[in-house]
A and B are shown apart, each in its own frame.
Chain A
Amino acid sequence: MTAKRWLTGFVVILAAIALLAACGGGGAAPAEEAAPVEEAAPAEEVAPAEEAAPAEEAAEEAAPAEEEAAPTEAPAEEAAPEEAAETPYIPVISKGFQHQFWQAVKAGSEQAAADLGVEITFEGPESESQVDKQLEMVQAALAKNPSALCIAALDSKALIPLLEEADAAGIPVIGFDSGVDSDILVTTAATDNIAAAGMAADKMAELIGGEGQVAVIVHDQTSRTGIDRRDGFLNRMAEAYPDIEIVDVQYGGGDHLRSTDLAKAIIQAHPDLKGFFGANEGSIIGVLNAVTELGRDDLVVIGYDSGKQQLDAIRSGLEAGAITQNPVGIGYKCVEAAVMAINGEPLDKVIDTGFFWYDATNIDSEEIQPLLYE
Chain B
Amino acid sequence: MTTDTTELTTSVRERRALFRSDATQKLLAFAGLIALFVVFSLASPNFFKFDNIIGILLATAVNGVLALGVTFIIVTAGIDLSVGTVMTLSAVMSGVFVTFWGLPIPLGILAGLATGALAGFVNGIAISKMKIPPFIATLGMMMMAKGLALVISGAKPIYFNDTPAFRQMAMGSLIGRVIPGFEVPNAVFILFGAAIIANLILTKTVLGRYTVALGSNEEATRLSGVNVDAWKTAVYALGGAFSGLGGVLMAARLNSAQPALGAGYELDAIAAVVIGGTSLSGGEGTILGTVIGAFIISVLTNGLRILSVPQEWQMVVTGAIVILAVYADIIRRRNQ
Contact = CB atoms under 8 A, between A and B. Distances in A.
A is bound by B: yes
B311 A269 contact: no
Nearest to A308: B159
A12 interface: yes
Contact of A265 (B55, B122, B146): B55
A98 B155 CA distance: 5
Interface string B116-143: 0000001001100110000000000000
A268 B154 contact: no
A180 B298 CA distance: 38
Nearest to A289: B254
B42 to A, nearest CB: 15
Interface string A256-269: 11001110111011
Contacts of A31: 154
Contacts of A81: none
- What DSSP secondary structure best describes chain B's contact surface? helix
A262 B46 CA distance: 14
Interface stretch (B26-34, B197-205, B258-266): B258-266
Given A23-B151, A27-B152, A27-B154, A269 B308 contact: yes
B171 A269 contact: no
A293 B44 contact: no
B254 A256 contact: yes
A265 B254 contact: no
A261 B259 CA distance: 19
B228 interface: no
A105 to B, nearest CB: 13
Contacts of B306: 265, 268-269
Nearest to B129: A8
A260 B298 CA distance: 13
| Residue in A19, A257, A270 with the greatest tally of chain B CB atoms within 10 Å | A257
A268 B55 contact: yes
A255 interface: yes
A328 B55 CA distance: 37
A271 B306 CA distance: 11
Contacts of A103: 155-156
Given A12-B125, A265-B305, A257 B55 contact: no
A99 B263 CA distance: 14
Contacts of A257: 62, 250, 253-254, 261
A358 interface: no
B15 to A, nearest CB: 31
A271 B51 CA distance: 12
Interface string B322-334: 0000000000000
Interface stretch (A131-139, A186-194, A245-253): A245-253
Given A9-B130, A251-B311, A268 B51 contact: yes
B111 to A, nearest CB: 15
Contacts of B156: 100, 103, 374
Contacts of A346: none
A266 B305 contact: yes
B204 to A, nearest CB: 31
A290 B183 CA distance: 15
Contact of B260 (A26, A99, A260, A266): A99
B241 interface: no
Interface string A263-293: 0111011110000000000000100010001
Contact of B151 (A9, A24, A97, A248): A24
18 contacts: A5-B130, A8-B125, A23-B151, A27-B154, A99-B260, A100-B157, A103-B156, A126-B146, A250-B311, A257-B250, A261-B55, A268-B306, A269-B308, A293-B55, A307-B157, A308-B159, A309-B255, A374-B156
8 closest pairs, A vs B, by CB? A265-B305, A269-B306, A261-B59, A98-B260, A268-B52, A264-B55, A27-B151, A30-B154
Given A97-B155, A260-B254, A261-B302, 11 more contacts: A8-B129, A26-B152, A27-B151, A256-B256, A264-B59, A268-B46, A269-B44, A269-B46, A269-B306, A269-B308, A270-B46
Interface of A: 5, 8-9, 12, 19, 23-24, 26-27, 30-31, 97-100, 103, 126-127, 221, 247-248, 250-251, 255-257, 260-262, 264-266, 268-271, 285, 289, 293-294, 307-309, 312, 374
